[in-house]
Each structure stands twice: as C-alpha cells, then as structure tokens.
Amino acid sequence: MRYTGPKFKLCRREGVNLFWAPKYDVRKRRSLPGQHGWSMSRLSEYGKLLRNKQTLKRIYQMSEKQFKRFVTEIAAKYSKNKWVEYDNAVKITLERRLDAILYKSWLASTIIQARQMIVHGHFELNGVKHNVPSYLVKQWDILQLREKLKNSPLYTAENTTVKVPSYLKVNTSDKKIEVIDLPRVEEIEVPADVLKVVEFYARA
C-alpha cells in the first residue's frame, strides 16, 4: 500500500527533502517525528539499510511490493543483461519510469504531480493516450501533452527549478518530451546509498 499521509512527516523521518519542493525542507524542523524523535537518531546496521531503502522508495512514491519487485527483479535483470553494476541498474531503471521522466523534463513541479498528470490521462505516449506512471521508457519514446490541454493554466508556465538532463529533448512550444537516450548514472542524484538498498533485499 502506498503512503498517503503527511508528506513532511516522511521527510523528517528520513532527514531529507524527498519531494524536492521548498515546503518539504527538513531544515525547518530537524527532529524525527513522534514523541521520542530526538532520541531515535542512532541506528543499527540493519536500521541504516532500512532507512536507505525507505528513502529511495519514498522519493519515487512506490509501494513496498512494487519497489521490492523493481529492485530484486527488474533492476537485477537489467544489471545482468546490460553488464551494469547492480546499484547503477537500480538508479537507471528508476529514472526510466514515466513519472520520473515527466518530472525531470519541465512540466511537473514534483514527482507526485507528475504521477497525477499521467494517471489522469493528460499525456500521449508515442501518439496513444497513456495513464501508467510506472511504464519504463525506451530510447526514442515520445511523451506529449494532449492537444486539448495545451492551453491549460497547469501547463502554461515552465518549471525553471529543474535542470533537464541530457538524455531528454524537450520542446517547450509543443510540450513534447523525446527520450533520446537512456538515463545516465552521472546525471542521477539521490539522497540514499543504493548499495545499501540492494543489500537490504539481499539480507531479507
């Protein structure tokens, strides 16, 4: 089940801004949530693995079942087939998700908003209406806003806080995103140790 409670509480729990929005800046309140927040900062080795796993899962807004399958099956297969290090395979495949691609372009201010836009059917993928945010893009896929929404106030302003990565080509006038390459590890930054995420599931 995907978490639907207060998002700032999650950010405080992990000690990072999970949603890349100013209102979730954890520097406003550094203590952990709960009555004993200040006394919970010391973690066991297992606790460190768990917190890294939770951080990465929550950044991409995935359920535990979905995230586990993603790491242990989808990314593992990609790592084996493409001769990519396991932790890098996890990063690349997470960034190939359609909601991540939309967020990393310029149309959505958070990955949460990107997911909502896709689920509500605002976009066409390769010319066909698409509403699955977990779809893994391929090179040369094209994501484009549906014609009837191009004048919507939701899409009239660009998001200038996000730098578009080199593997995406964005046409601002047509509101079209082309995937010209697969995500590159050197352009992926996440506030979690992905090796510890891999280790968490290896120990489970």
SS3 70: helix
Token couple for 165:
């990565």
Round to whole Å and give the CA distance between 119 and 72: 25
Q: Does 197 lie in the same domain as 159?
A: no
- Total domains in the chain come to 2
> What contacts 187, CB < 8 A, 6 or more positions away?
165, 166, 167
CATH number at residue 44: 1.10.1050.10
Position with higher pLDDT, 25 vs 35:
25
Token couple for 182:
């697969």
Q: Does 128 lie in the same domain as 51?
A: no
Q: Does 113 lie in the same domain as 128?
A: yes
- 68-97 pLDDT, tens digit per residue, is 999 999 999 999 999 999 999 999 999 999
Considering only CA atoms, which of 150, 142, 148, 149 is closest in space to residue 125? 142
Q: Does 30 lie in the same domain as 72?
A: yes
- Looking at residue 162, its pLDDT comes to 58
Q: Tell me the sheet residues that pair with 130.
A: 123
**Which domain range does residue 128 map to?**
97-182
Round to whole Å and give the CA distance between 173 and 65: 39
Q: Which region, left, alpha or beta, applies to residue 14 given φ > 0 means left and ψ of -120 to 50 means alpha?
A: alpha
Round to whole Å and give the CA distance between 158 and 171: 11
Whether 1 maps to a domain, the answer reads: no
Q: Which percentage of the chain shows pLDDT scores above 70?
A: 77
pTM score, whole prediction: 0.83
CATH number at residue 105: 3.10.290.10
Q: Does 199 lie in the same domain as 168?
A: no
Q: Mean pLDDT over residues 109-124, rounded?
A: 93
Whether 43 maps to a domain, the answer reads: yes
Q: Which of 4-13, 44-53, 54-63, 149-158 has the lowest mean pLDDT?
A: 4-13
Q: Mean pLDDT over residues 122-146, rounded?
A: 97
Q: Does 193 lie in the same domain as 164?
A: no
pLDDT above 80: residue 58: yes
Q: Does 116 lie in the same domain as 71?
A: no
Q: Does 60 lie in the same domain as 44?
A: yes
